[in-house]
Amino acid sequence: MSWIGDTVDSIKSIQIRQLLTQGVSLGMIVTSALIIWKALMCITGSESPVVVVLSESMEPGFKRGDILFLHMSKEPIRAGEIVVFNVDGREIPIVHRVIKVHERQDTGEVDVLTKGDNNPGDDRLLYAQGQHWLQRQHIMGRAVGFLPYVGWVTIIMTEKPIIKYILIGALGLLVITSKD
């Protein structure tokens, strides 16, 4: 276990220039991640191109911890599509399926009703007071693909923030003490 000794030695021998270089590398990593995220937002046309499934309301299709890839196109919303929407006053978006669509003749605007596959009733209880339908502006994207289990990382970090701090602390330590 001589790497403990090495780590302590390298902390003792930190020079300013090396420290600044490490700081810039860390900044570059964070910035590239941000660039990729923003580029994804542009490509998919959705405010949040990837979401994590948080509830069991779409089981057995989507389980807690799966991630969904979203895409928003100008195509009209049709029954059967799985959409992600925000309800006024709630900050967490909901991922459910469209079961009813009423599209106006003149304006092309739609009234949409959604329901989770695993829920007994439709989503009217989740909508804002007095709201019976969703409109296009509430919908952030359609789910087009998914990956299982990958979202557990986000769920753990949100529900037990201490793990997030430990991870960031460990990563920071690793960057500072790495020789290259």
Partner 1 sequence: MHSFGYRLNVLLTFAVTILALMCAMASLSDNLNTPSPSAEIQIMNINWFQKQPQGNDEVSLTMNISADLQSLFTWNTKQVFIFVAAEYETPKNSLNQVSLWDAIIPAKEHAKFWIHTSNKYRFVDQGNNLRGKEFNLTLHWHVMPKTGKMFANKIVMTGYSLPEEYR
Which residues are the active-site residues? 57, 96, 123
Site string for partner 1, 130-169 (x = CB under 8 A): -------------xxxxxx---------------------
Picking from 99, 53, 51, 90, the residue whose alpha carbon sits closest to that of residue 71 is: 51
Picking from 151, 153, 140, 134, the residue whose alpha carbon sits closest to that of residue 49 is: 140
Question: Site residues for partner 1, window 105-124 (CB under 8 A)?
Answer: 105, 108, 111, 117, 122
Single out the residue of 48, 52, 61, 136 in contact with partner 1 (rule: CB under 8 A).
61
Burial (CB < 10 A; 0-12, 13-18, 19+), residue 66, is: buried
Q: For partner 1, which stretch binds (CB under 8 A), given 26-34, 35-43, 95-103, 152-160?
A: 95-103
DSSP string of 18-35, one letter each residue: HHHHHHHHHHHHHHHHHH
Dihedral angle, C-alpha 58, 126, 68, 39, nearest 10 °:
170
In the complex with partner 1, which residue's Cβ is closer, 89 or 130?
130
Q: Note the residues at the interface with partner 1 (CB under 8 A).
A: 3, 60-62, 78-82, 97, 99-105, 108, 111, 117, 122, 143-148, 174
